[in-house]
């Protein structure tokens, strides 16, 4: 074995072909590295650049490393003129190609392209989504209370239902069909922009949320475009329960900062509660005491949602709350729910007088729902309706209904016949007024 062969088989005392590592890391920037790149040295003949070897070129400043002089690199290369031999190629394959950030040039045909390290992409946050985590879903009623409700009653007794069925056999249905057709035509009137119907009362517990739920379901049943029932009652209203929602998540206040003009209807409905028999619900709370809904949030939500829903029924807080007064002033039509009691009718008359003093009189677009919550009403409903009509409004009497008086989710198939007719008439009166407003 010759001396040159022994030198080729033995690694250098410094740990191998380190000058190639230096050239790979420094990119051959120093002009004195020419001899090392060409393989010429003190003790070896000229060795040309091997075909396919990458041409090293410094394209970015190299990181700070211990200084290596050109003379030292050339001297070491001269002592091992076979640095580009098989051992050098094997050493290069173990280390892999030079960093793509520090080199560029030609590659051998069989040498794979250097892969850049994957840069983790951070998706931009959708401005329509809330910055805070999504709220947790909350049940509208405790399961034990649902069991305590028992089986819901039909609004009409068996005797009354039997008598009505017999009367249908002997009477003409022509008049009834004509009336139903007229009401359906009123409810299905087309709208150019979303209409808002505000429902309020002078005090709580008179059936305001019940009337709102009945209106929302009736309009959704007859109309072919989207209908929304919105709760704007800050006092833990019962609208979600009456609408049959099992759980609620997003509230009106949660949705106010999320709404964006670029959102589609499918984006908006992701934040709403679908009603079992159609339509959508937006509650005001998750069944817990919290900050009340403010006027700014209410106006922003109702104004934005008018782009997606043909009709929005807003179950407002009782008067003279700020949100209720704002809703009554900005709605296209209004429903004032009055109990069939002397004090309830008297207070409702005061509300009507206040509506008449607004800058644009709202009495022309207001309907009063005179609700009876007990079968033993002392006040004559005709006298009460006449007193309210003196203010210049239309009054629709909603009779006592056993199914509605029981509380819990409303089932429209269990409503009394008189209740169904009264709700249809109320919805037709309201929709007729809402469409006429420009």
Give which of 14, 323, 88, 46 is closest to 198, Cα–Cα: 323
**Residues present in the chain in total:** 438
Domain extents in the chain: 16-95, 140-164+172-436
For residues 318 and 361, the model is more confident at 318
Q: What is the mean pLDDT of residues 69-90?
A: 44
End-to-end CA distance of the chain: 106
Which pLDDT score, from 0 to 100, does residue 180 have? 85
- Does residue 13 register a pLDDT over 50? no
- Give the ranges where 370-437 is alpha helix by DSSP (H): 381-389, 402-405, 417-436
Q: Is 247 helix (H, G, I), strand (E, B) or coil?
A: strand
CB < 8 Å & 24+ apart, contacts of 40-43 = 40/77, 40/78, 40/81, 41/74, 41/77, 41/78, 41/79, 41/80, 41/81, 42/75, 42/78, 42/79, 43/4, 43/78, 43/79, 43/81
pTM surpassing 0.85? no
Residue with tokens 């069944």, as numbered in its chain: 287
- Does residue 113 register a pLDDT over 60? no
The model's pLDDT over 25-70, given as tens digits with 9 standing for 90+, comes to 555 444 444 444 444 444 444 444 444 444 444 444 444 545 544 4
Other CB atoms within a 10 A radius of the CB of residue 94 amount to: 6
Rg (CA), the chain: 41
For residues 151 and 425, the model is more confident at 425
Contact yes or no for 138/287 (Cβ under 8 A) = yes
Measured in whole angstroms, the distance separating CA 45 from the mean position of its chain's CA atoms is: 76
**CATH class belonging to 140-164+172-436:** alpha beta
The model's pLDDT over 352-379, given as tens digits with 9 standing for 90+, comes to 998 888 777 789 999 999 999 888 888 9
Contact yes or no for 99/223 (Cβ under 8 A) = no
- Does residue 386 register a pLDDT over 80? yes
Cα-Cα-Cα-Cα dihedral of 230, 231, 232, 234, to 10°?
-160
- Give the ranges where 223-269 is alpha helix by DSSP (H): 239-242, 252-255, 265-269
Compute the distance between CA of residue 225 and CA of residue 310 in angstroms, rounded to an integer. Answer: 6
Q: What is the mean pLDDT of residues 135-155?
A: 78
């Amino acid at each position: 074995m010759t001396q040159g062969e022994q030198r080729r088989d033995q690694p250098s005392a410094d740990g191998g072909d380190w000058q190639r590592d230096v050239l790979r890391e420094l990119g051959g920037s120093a002009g004195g590295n020419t001899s090392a790149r060409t393989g010429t040295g003190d003790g070896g003949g000229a060795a040309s650049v091997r075909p396919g070897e990458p041409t090293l070129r410094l394209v970015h400043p190299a990181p700070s490393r211990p200084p290596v002089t050109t003379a030292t690199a050339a001297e070491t290369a001269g002592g091992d003129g076979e640095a580009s031999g098989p051992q050098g190629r094997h050493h290069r394959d173990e280390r892999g190609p030079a960093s793509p950030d520090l080199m560029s040039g030609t590659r051998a045909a069989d040498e794979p392209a250097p892969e850049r390290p994957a840069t983790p992409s951070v998706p931009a946050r959708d401005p329509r989504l809330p910055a805070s985590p999504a709220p947790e879903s909350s049940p509208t009623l405790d399961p034990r209370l649902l069991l305590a409700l028992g089986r819901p009653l039909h609004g009409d007794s068996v005797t009354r239902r039997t008598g009505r069925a017999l009367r249908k056999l002997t009477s003409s249905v022509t008049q009834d069909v004509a009336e139903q057709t007229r009401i359906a035509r009123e409810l299905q009137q087309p709208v150019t922009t979303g209409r808002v119907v505000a429902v309020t009362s002078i005090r709580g517990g008179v059936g305001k949320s019940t009337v709102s739920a009945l209106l929302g379901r009736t309009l959704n049943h007859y109309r072919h475009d989207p209908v929304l029932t919105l709760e704007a009652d800050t006092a833990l209203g019962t609208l979600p329960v009456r609408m049959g929602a099992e759980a609620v998540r997003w509230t009106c206040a949660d949705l106010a900062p999320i709404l964006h003009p670029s959102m589609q209807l499918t984006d908006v409905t992701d934040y709403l509660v679908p009603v079992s028999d159609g339509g959508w619900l937006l509650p005001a709370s998750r069944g817990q005491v919290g900050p009340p809904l403010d006027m700014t949030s209410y106006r922003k939500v109702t104004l934005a949602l008018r782009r997606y829903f043909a009709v929005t029924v807003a179950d407002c807080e009782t008067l003279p709350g700020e949100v209720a007064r704002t809703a009554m002033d900005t709605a296209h039509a209004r429903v004032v729910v009055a109990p069939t009691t002397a004090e309830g009718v008297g207070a409702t008359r005061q509300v009507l007088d206040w509506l008449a003093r607004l800058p644009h009189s709202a009495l022309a677009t207001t309907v009063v729902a005179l609700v009876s919550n007990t079968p033993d009403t002392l006040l004559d409903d005709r006298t009460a309706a006449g007193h309210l009509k003196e203010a210049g409004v239309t009054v629709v009497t909603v009779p006592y209904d056993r199914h509605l008086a029981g509380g819990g989710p409303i089932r429209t198939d269990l409503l009394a016949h008189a209740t169904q007719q009264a709700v249809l008439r109320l919805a037709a009166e309201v929709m007729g007024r809402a469409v006429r407003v420009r």
